A and B are shown apart, each in its own frame.
Chain A
Amino acid sequence: MKNLKLKAARAAMDLSQQELADAVHVSRQTVNAMEKGDYNPSIRLCLSICKVLGKTLDELFWEE
């Protein structure tokens, strides 16, 4: 399932996939795969992304 919340949060901060990837030390393709729902990140990576985007885990990764 696509993670549209992650994509929206990234876009809201005006970050490209590459910029977010650089901030959390992963490849751009990994960010792309997470947004497409092709890859489930580890909790450590989720936390790094939350810190960079200023969101909580629930806001970005909890599925309703």
Chain B
Amino acid sequence: MDARMWGFLTGIFLTAVVVAVSSYVRRRKRAKSGEIWDDSFDERQQAARGKAFEAAFFTLLFYLLVNAAVIKIAGIWAQPGVDGVMGIFISIGVFGIICIRSDAFMTLREKPKTYLLLFGLVVLIQTMASVDSLHTFTTDGLLNWNLLSPVCGVLFLILMASLLLKMRRDRLTDGDDI
């Protein structure tokens, strides 16, 4: 296994540890305070998320179709797996943007600021990873795995911008209704 794969696996492992520890700490804190925490989506949000899943699914299908046509006509343009992950990023982006626009991204008790912080952190990490691998986005004329860091960073930047725009629009339009 090369250094990149070790880095990839270490990243996944550390993320799992951070998520597990933080959720354990939060659960214990809530149990001590007797607070009831609702981590669910309401019925409108569930319906909106269903539509977002549908849109993301068809986006992925369309992408795979276009990708297959491009490969057939112009030849392979990326290393194996890279084109697939790009499609996953695009469909995740579609899902995220639709959910954010329809107020179905966060559960009932989650705060937008938490997600802004999280998205910002991902953008920062991916930017640092991109700078590290700058100018090495191709191998033998094919786009390689290094490209996925900036693409992931851009994806989360777009999600962050969508969330900020949504928060601003809510403040402007719902101000007198709250």
Q: Which residues of A does B touch, CB under 8 Å? A: 16-18, 25-30, 32-33, 35, 39, 41-42, 44-45
Contact = CB atoms under 8 A, between A and B. Distances in A.
Interface stretch (B38-46, B122-130, B139-147): B38-46
Contact of B42 (A17, A27, A32, A35): A27
Given A25-B38, A25-B108, A27-B108, A17 B43 contact: no
Contacts of A29: 44, 103, 170
Nearest to A30: B44
B43 A27 contact: no
B35 interface: no
B56 to A, nearest CB: 21
> Do most interface residues of chain A lie in helix, strand or loop, or is the interface mixed?
helix
Nearest to B106: A27
Which DSSP category, helix, strand, loop or mixed, fits chain B's interface?
loop
29 contacts: A16-B178, A17-B174, A17-B177, A18-B178, A25-B38, A25-B42, A25-B108, A26-B42, A26-B43, A26-B44, A26-B108, A27-B42, A27-B44, A27-B108, A28-B178, A29-B44, A29-B103, A29-B170, A30-B42, A30-B45, A32-B177, A33-B44, A33-B103, A35-B177, A39-B44, A41-B44, A44-B43, A45-B42, A45-B43
